[in-house]
Amino acid sequence: MNHSDHVNLLKPANLNPGGVWADFGAGSGAFTLALRELVGSDAEIYAVDTDRSSLLDLQDAYQARFGDATNLHPVPADFTRPLQLPPLDGALMANALHYFKDARTVTPTGQLAKVDNKLALLRHICSYLKPGAAFLLVEYNIDAGNLWVPHPLSFGTWQALAQQAGFTEPRLLATHPSSFLRELFSAVCYSGNS
């Protein structure tokens, strides 16, 4: 995939320009760059990733593409833990959610209960969003993974999970073929706290 492909996956969301955004699991920033192209130079973007080297690569790519990186804020941190972020107008998570899986735990009454780590993470992310803020998800559109993409989720699974996490009904934006795991999908939903 190239930059145009990344932009085209997000473009149908018709994002408002500006605002405060975060890219959770930004890596070297392929989708951060696409987001910046769509929300413009007035947007503040927090790129969150544990890999400092990837964030440095992102800063370089951002500067090279847009000529200025003052509105990019690299955050070298684990996004599953509490972060010091301002209230967000929007958030992006591209190819990061598939690293989280379901886990089984015991309830206080001693019964087995399924706990969805994805759900807990999504509720955590939702807590950073202003009411009605956009949440963009890019994932592999399949429910069975492999060694490199261990726990992907199809758009149908995302539809069922999003509302449990505090978001509105997701809208499918686009798909893109993938030789790796069939195809990628992009979707938008909104913080349901409005």
Q: What is the mean pLDDT of each run of 10 residues along the chain (194 residues)?
A: 93 96 94 97 96 96 94 93 94 75 53 59 90 92 67 81 90 87 88 68
Model pLDDT, residue 183: 84
Model pLDDT, residue 18: 97
Model pLDDT, residue 106: 44
Q: Can you say whether the dihedral through the CA atoms of 56, 62, 68, 70 is positive or negative?
A: negative
Tell me the pLDDT tens digit for each residue of 77-112: 988 888 999 999 999 998 876 555 654 444 556 554
pTM, rounded to two decimals: 0.88
User: Nearest 5°: phi and psi at 71?
Assistant: -95, 5
Rounded distance, CA 21 to CA 190, Å? 13
CATH code, 3-24+36-96+123-133+148-187: 3.40.50.150
Rounded distance, CA 183 to CA 188, Å? 17
Model pLDDT, residue 146: 62
